[in-house]
Structure 1
């Protein structure tokens, strides 16, 4: 069933907020089974061994034609200098207000052919349709299998039979796994070295089985749905429809949701808002690349959608991306309320919520609102509940103490003490020298 959001009005008002609160959260099977070993064991994999994670549910769009690069330059904040075939980038796409409307990996397959996944696929396809340029788009059916962690290089070299440590970060090349053609993209969504293999969806079981067999001696784990998003949280990769809301609400973008519903099966992942924050205006829960921690991807060496707004935003007060570390005693109080008489606090689902939604809790300092805390998650490795948060610059100092308002509108409220910590919370090792593990 193809889902389509239908707005009578696309106004920056409480009516949009009410719509988002009333929309039921989607249930997307996403990464495979809820658990394969158990979620705690799986969370340890990207620190001690490696995991294989299945992101094949993400939408994959190919853009081709004489104007393909021209289109992408017009909608991406990123520079396209030296962006040659075999390279990839984290593409950031904004609306006219400079708010992030799409982002995801962009791979240059040839001079006039590109592929992009996730929310950037939707936005790029829509802009291609609207542009009038000589560019075609089509959804392609591919698999995307990530292998990441300390043992990733050893596993990937074994399964491909090739030396891979010469592949630079965010570069890819074609190779074979069990006779199937794949593209090996070096990246690291867990903040650890790794590769993402892309190939024809018909080959997924053959390729997955080969990777699991190669990884058995290294202790590879399959990454289940319950814990997959923890690596995004620890490594500070804000994810649309999870940590923040995509900016598709300007009147000039009102054709986007009908286009989305007519051309893609979203699998139940739609804009949904939960949490204690009660914004007056939808702009409060939309973010620029600077606020999401992606300022280095904004390059003013070309014209692109949202450029004027972002040039002004450079010198304006902004919110900063940080990690909030929840006070463990206050978290325990939430669970304790379930075993006491009277009203209880809203349940804090661990390791992460089971359904797709954007979580926005109000963050306070001395009773004043100072930012937004996004979808919380429990890190078994750090034994803490964490959340990516977007705080006023004056409150974003490491070690600052703030309070998170816990409880949906109309529900009992609890103030959870929280400490401002770096984002990423876990050390970023993606660009570290890749090493082959020796096994006994």
Structure 2
């Protein structure tokens, strides 16, 4: 097991801030930007997400060997949420895999190093490159109107997690239907050199639809409302333990030249997860790893092939110990936390509204009658719901919506208090991603 103490933010290592390449923190103000995916629409820039492109006769076999997913039905033009685990069934890597051709795959993921390492280790007959692309998310109830003004390509027949090639002016792009805000949404992708042209066209098309640009201060809030657990924030990617010496040696010796000017040549060389904070005081960093089952991704697992972690996940699937929920924090208690800055008495750890701007796995203990029953992660404030919320991993016995619990707030050795919280469903907001676009009214 690996000592967790060196990974504690500020005490063991400095936490990684959001990188400048992720864009401005705010454009029209974080409260206004949060309302966009409920009322109108937004454009968010996720071009910083790295990807690894794998071509060749063994490309499909590489992803099948590494991933929990079923690849029996994976036609060209389809996208999948692909998950890779260690031998204990804990998530090492997860992201979107696009199939461009029979032997051509693009994995957009925070930890592409694991695929690179295993491709070399396993001697797969593949060619690997590291392209840079623009990835603009357009999402919200009015997003279809923006897209129909933006392009002549008919997108109404595109089903969830499918792609379609089209044009924006004279520029060819790929439209990937997804919806990280739990609303209708597409991600517009293409070569990075077309970045300014495509962004300008999106903003122009969105003027009449109340479109806002999404800043980094709100990046995790729609993930929180729509239940998209994100590596390094809501869980710790299982690449932090001492057993991975060969992997680390490989990355030191085989860093792709394309990554030299990026954070992958610095704090993210081995892992997107680098630190944690919060009241969790466990001894082993492995205790912050998560299985796909407890994160609500059990439906993605196919036990029709061998993959790392299969045995552990089969056992867990039969009797899951924890599940993902949303914790709704008591508002009076949150007011008390903020008021401690001005009142006599201890000052408690503060939540940087709407959420802390560190790539760090904030993890607090969930308590019931003094017993530790789970982890509350990376809290954030939702303007729409006027609540502080947290995606949380809780013992199944306490996962029923309406269950009252408390969250231990404050780092060890600092002032701590308990915050009352109520278990709520995950996702917290209504999921509208998969609506049939053919029946949507015309907006353009």
Under TM normalisation by the shorter chain, which class is it? Answer: over 0.9
Matches of residues 61-140 of structure 1 in structure 2 within 5 Å? 61-140=52-131
State the match for 1:5 in structure 2: none
State the match for 1:152 in structure 2: 143
Residue 375 of structure 1 aligns to a residue whose secondary structure is strand
Q: Distance in 2 between matches of 1:363 and 1:295?
A: 23
Distance 1:44 1:31, change over 3 A: farther
State the match for 2:275 in structure 1: 272
State the match for 1:9 in structure 2: none
Matched, 1:406 2:396: no
Residue 24 of structure 2 aligns to a residue whose secondary structure is coil
Offset, 1:271 = 1.4
Matches of residues 32-51 of structure 1 in structure 2 within 5 Å? 32-51=23-42
8 Å Cα contact 1:31/1:223 also seen in 2? no
Residue 400 of structure 2 aligns to a residue whose secondary structure is coil
RMSD over equivalenced CA pairs, Å: 1.6
Q: Distance in 1 between matches of 2:304 and 2:147?
A: 37
Pick from 135, 141, 165: which aligns with 1:174? 165
State the match for 1:23 in structure 2: 13
Offset, 1:303 = 1.5
Offset, 1:314 = 1.4
Offset, 1:437 = 4.3
State the match for 2:288 in structure 1: 285
How many positions carry a matched residue from both structures? 427
Q: Distance in 1 between matches of 2:118 and 2:294?
A: 24
Q: Residues 136-175 of structure 1: CA distance to partner in whole angstroms, max 9, x if unpaired? A: 2221111111000111111112111121010111110211
Q: Distance in 1 between matches of 2:172 and 2:182?
A: 26
8 Å Cα contact 1:26/1:270 also seen in 2? no
Q: Residues 227-278 of structure 1: CA distance to partner in whole angstroms, max 9, x if unpaired? A: 1210000000000011110011455533334445634433655411100011
Matched, 1:384 2:387: yes
State the match for 1:8 in structure 2: none
Q: Distance in 1 between matches of 2:392 and 2:441?
A: 36
Q: Distance in 2 between matches of 1:230 and 1:154?
A: 24
Q: Residues 117-143 of structure 1: CA distance to partner in whole angstroms, max 9, x if unpaired? A: 122523222221221111222211111
Calculate the TM-score normalised by the size of structure 1: 0.94
Q: Distance in 2 between matches of 1:148 and 1:436?
A: 16
State the match for 1:364 in structure 2: 367
Q: Distance in 1 between matches of 2:219 and 2:338?
A: 23
Q: Residues 59-88 of structure 1: CA distance to partner in whole angstroms, max 9, x if unpaired? A: 011011110000000011110012011000
Offset, 1:341 = 3.0
8 Å Cα contact 2:241/2:285 also seen in 1? no
Unaligned residue ranges in structure 1 (runs of 5+): 1-11
Q: Distance in 2 between matches of 1:250 and 1:206?
A: 43
8 Å Cα contact 2:241/2:286 also seen in 1? no
Residue 339 of structure 1 aligns to a residue whose secondary structure is coil
Q: Distance in 1 between matches of 2:320 and 2:176?
A: 36
Offset, 1:16 = 3.7
Calculate the TM-score normalised by the size of structure 2: 0.93
Matches of residues 295-374 of structure 1 in structure 2 within 5 Å? 295-374=298-377
Distance 1:312 1:129, change over 3 A: same
8 Å Cα contact 2:293/2:320 also seen in 1? no
Offset, 1:436 = 4.4
